[in-house]
């Protein structure tokens, strides 16, 4: 019996959702994928809990189908994967096991594999955690042929739009010094918490910055996201730390982004504070003029916009690989309780991906 492609992708997605893979616990899903493709006679290279399936050293143009396998922790509303009417519910349904399922089904399609480009699946761990723990960087280092790919399609949730480039994201901890005292006699100390007031007020009044890069609008923001002290509640704190998250446009280098944060903090709070960059994932250029990016985008006929978030398009761009975001998941469902993806998006995403891959330039790629 012939199974329709959309049913096949939905069943595959449910199988993937049935394997818990919260960040840091991706061994089980890595084993499932490794066994699946070894049984199919594919060339499989495993790097930690990540896999490369296919031949990245092929002489014809190589296109990477890139998807992370990890998810954020489940909620009671999506812990049990299931079909619910015209959608699939489960943790990671939209972000991004739907994209992984579509990529896998296309890779396993002989007709799609016989097109003008060589398809290689990159299924990697650690995307939802800190940048340093993201295993795609290690995969690119240990399988260097991937860096010569003509294009990488990152199947993050995009609502079936093509999202070019990505924002950079920088986390910086700003520590305000003080002098401890009993809270009944605060004049005997210096309150580190209230010392942060000028910076917090400046950030509250700071408007988003709208920038255009390669004809696409990106919106920069610098916002406080966490704050903490280590003192008891009846002690004037001698140290107060605020975490800042800077989401910056792809016109800036990592060094320029760090300089911008330091300048903003110094202007509002002075030089007495300590600033430490704790996590930094660089932005990715849209690469709108690249021949493969342009051909893929045109073939999909999809709406084209900027990625107003960070994805591994940034890491791939830094490695010299033209990359774009295109996936069946819903951006508004990422990390939501009861996470789901429409069945129709699986079918439409698969069809658009196959069509776009077939429209790419072929021949020998150097």
List the catalytic residue out of 70, 105, 108, 118. Answer: 70
Tokens of 162: 């093509």
Instruction: Out of 127, 128, 159, 290, pick the active-site residue.
Output: 127
Place of tokens 């150097």: 366
Q: Is 127 a catalytic residue?
A: yes
Q: State how far the Cα of 162 lies from the Cα of 355, in Å rounded to an integer.
A: 14
Positive or negative, the CA dihedral 151, 156, 161, 166 is negative
- Residues that are catalytic: 70, 127
């Amino acid at each position: 019996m012939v199974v329709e492609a959309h049913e096949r992708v939905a069943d595959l997605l449910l199988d993937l959702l049935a394997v818990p893979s919260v960040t840091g616990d991706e061994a089980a899903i890595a084993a499932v994928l490794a066994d699946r493709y070894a049984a199919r006679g594919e060339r499989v290279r495993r790097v930690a809990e990540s896999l490369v399936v296919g031949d990245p050293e092929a002489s014809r143009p190589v296109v990477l189908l890139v998807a992370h396998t990890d998810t954020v922790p489940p909620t009671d509303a999506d812990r049990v994967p299931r079909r619910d009417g015209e959608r699939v519910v489960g943790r990671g349904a939209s972000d991004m096991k739907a994209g992984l399922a579509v990529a896998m089904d296309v890779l396993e399609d002989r007709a799609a594999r016989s097109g003008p480009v060589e398809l290689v699946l990159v299924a990697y761990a650690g995307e939802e955690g800190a940048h340093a723990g993201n295993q795609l960087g290690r995969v690119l280092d240990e399988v260097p042929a991937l860096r010569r790919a003509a294009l990488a399609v990152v199947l993050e949730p995009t609502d079936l739009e093509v999202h070019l480039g990505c924002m950079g994201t920088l986390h910086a901890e700003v520590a305000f010094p003080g002098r401890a005292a009993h809270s009944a006699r605060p004049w005997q100390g210096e309150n580190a918490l209230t010392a942060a007031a000028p910076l917090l007020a400046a950030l509250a009044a700071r408007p988003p910055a709208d920038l255009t890069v390669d004809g696409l609008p990106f919106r920069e923001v610098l916002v406080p996201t966490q704050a903490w002290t280590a003192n008891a509640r009846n002690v004037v704190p001698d140290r107060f730390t605020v975490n800042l998250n800077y989401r910056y446009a792809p016109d800036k280098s990592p060094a320029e982004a760090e300089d911008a944060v330091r300048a903003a903090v110094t202007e509002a709070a002075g030089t007495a504070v300590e600033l430490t960059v704790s996590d930094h994932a660089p932005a990715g250029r849209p690469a709108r003029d690249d021949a493969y990016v342009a051909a893929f985008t045109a073939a999909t006929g999809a709406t084209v916009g900027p990625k107003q978030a960070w994805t591994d398009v940034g890491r791939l761009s830094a490695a010299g690989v033209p990359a774009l975001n295109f996936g069946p998941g819903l951006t508004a469902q990422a990390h939501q309780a009861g996470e789901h993806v429409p069945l129709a998006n699986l079918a439409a995403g698969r069809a658009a991906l196959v069509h776009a891959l077939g429209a790419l330039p072929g021949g020998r790629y150097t």
